């Protein structure tokens, strides 16, 4: 059964809201403490259910089935996003070893890439012909990187929702303007599912996204970036760097900052901590809501640069890309020097 995208958007919002309300009602009196042998420092230590991601993933999977038979790729991606959400929910309770998580992430990412035959075409970029073997490896690594960078950005009430929601609305505007309507539909569904959860995650949060949600959203966004870059007949841009990859500036920048801090201080990169960009801004005196607003504004300004990169002529787009790279270097050096939240 196929519905108009406007109806699917409403359905996504309603299902996400209802499912998250059910999760909240059922679990509000339970104790949610992760079994862990590692003493990880967290921003908060509240007994908040980390199952918002499960409710959101189920809402997403149901909703994409109403996009029509032509979007079979999305149904497959939706199914595996549900699988990776289940993996995340297990980790939420039992704190799986990072090697186990990485192994199953690789499996859940590799299968749809092979089955749907979708790749980042790196071999073409490098003028190589390795029978897609390099494309396969890079594509899997890219999606896993996005999954874990989104997981890392989920470190404060509402933050992952604001960041990923911003990525979704940017994807909607860009893919619609480039007539990539199927990807627009996927982005719309994901955005409204995220909005349904945001009701419960706005600070102070009643529900956490948890690994079940951050892995699910990162998985969907990672595959969206692959589909946009190499799977549209209308994609006429000649630029080497896909604009969609620039959507992930915030999670990747946060990932770089914490990796730099942890490795340089002899801390395990897989251990939780309060060294994220959001925590450093809190240490500087900003409130949680102010931090959310700053991230939203930065996402909007960054999107302006992306639009310039896409729609200006080659000379101006090169200048815009140079400005973008300069701001990344500046922000990385600025944030890594800020005090860590104690």
- What pTM was estimated for this model as a whole? 0.88
What whole-number percentage of the chain has pLDDT above 90? 54
Placement of tokens 């994901």 in the chain: 190
Per the model's pLDDT, the better-predicted residue between 43 and 53 turns out to be: 53
pLDDT at 240: 54
Task: Give 32 or 295, the one with higher predicted confidence.
Answer: 295
Tell me which of 118-127, 199-208, 228-237, 300-309 is least confident. Answer: 228-237
Name the DSSP letter for residue 2: -
How do residues 12-40 score in pLDDT, each as one tens digit?
A: 999 999 999 999 888 877 765 554 444 45
Give CA–CA dist 78/92, Å, rounded.
Answer: 21
Query: Residue 125 contacts by C-beta under 8 Å, 6 or more apart in sequence?
Result: 240
pLDDT tens per residue across span 73-108: 778 888 898 899 999 989 888 888 889 999 999 999
- Segments making up each domain of the chain, as ranges: 5-27+46-337
Higher pLDDT, 240 or 155: 155
Query: Is the Cα torsion angle 162, 95, 220, 226 positive or negative in sign?
Result: positive
For the chain, what is the mean pLDDT?
Answer: 86
Can you give the pLDDT at residue 124?
77
Q: b/e for 94-103, b at 16 or more Cβ within 10 A?
A: ebbeeeebee
Region 290-300 average pLDDT: 95
Average of pLDDT values for 312-319?
84
Averaged pLDDT for residues 57-74: 81
What's residue 95's pLDDT? Answer: 84
Long-range pairs, 331-337, Cβ under 8 A, ≥24: 331/253, 332/253, 332/256, 332/257, 332/260, 335/253, 335/257, 335/277, 335/280, 336/257, 336/260, 336/261
Does the structure show a pLDDT above 80 at 232?
no
210 — pLDDT class (breaks 50, 70, 90): confident
């Amino acid at each position: 059964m196929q519905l108009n995208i406007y109806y699917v958007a409403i359905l996504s919002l309603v299902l996400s809201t209802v499912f998250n309300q059910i999760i909240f009602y059922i679990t509000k009196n339970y104790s949610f403490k992760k079994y862990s042998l590692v003493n990880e420092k967290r921003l908060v230590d509240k007994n908040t259910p980390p199952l918002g991601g499960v409710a959101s993933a189920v809402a997403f999977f149901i909703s994409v089935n109403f996009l029509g038979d032509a979007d079979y790729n999305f149904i497959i991606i939706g199914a595996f996003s549900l699988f990776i959400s289940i993996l995340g929910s297990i980790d939420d309770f039992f704190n799986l070893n990072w090697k186990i998580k990485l192994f199953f992430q690789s499996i859940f990412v590799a299968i749809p890439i092979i089955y749907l035959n979708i790749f980042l075409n790196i071999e073409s970029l490098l003028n190589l012909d390795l029978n897609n073997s390099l494309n396969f490896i890079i594509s899997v690594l890219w999606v896993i990187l996005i999954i874990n960078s989104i997981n890392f950005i989920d470190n404060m009430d509402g933050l992952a929702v604001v960041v990923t929601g911003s990525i979704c609305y940017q994807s909607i505007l860009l893919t619609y303007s480039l007539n990539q309507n199927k990807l627009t539909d996927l982005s719309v569904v994901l955005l409204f599912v995220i909005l349904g959860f945001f009701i419960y995650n706005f600070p102070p949060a009643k529900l956490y996204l948890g690994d079940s949600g951050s892995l699910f959203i990162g998985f969907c966004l990672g595959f969206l970036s692959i589909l946009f870059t190499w799977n549209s007949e209308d994609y006429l841009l000649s630029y080497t760097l896909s604009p969609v990859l620039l959507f992930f500036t915030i999670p990747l920048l946060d990932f770089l900052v914490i990796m730099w801090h942890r490795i340089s201080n002899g801390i395990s990169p897989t251990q939780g901590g309060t060294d994220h960009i959001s925590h450093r801004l809190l240490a500087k005196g900003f409130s949680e809501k102010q931090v959310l607003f700053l991230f939203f504004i930065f996402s909007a300004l960054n999107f302006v640069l992306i639009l310039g990169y896409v729609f200006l002529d080659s000379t101006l787009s090169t200048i815009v890309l140079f400005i973008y790279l300069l701001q990344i270097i500046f922000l990385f050096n600025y944030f890594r020097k800020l005090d860590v939240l104690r």
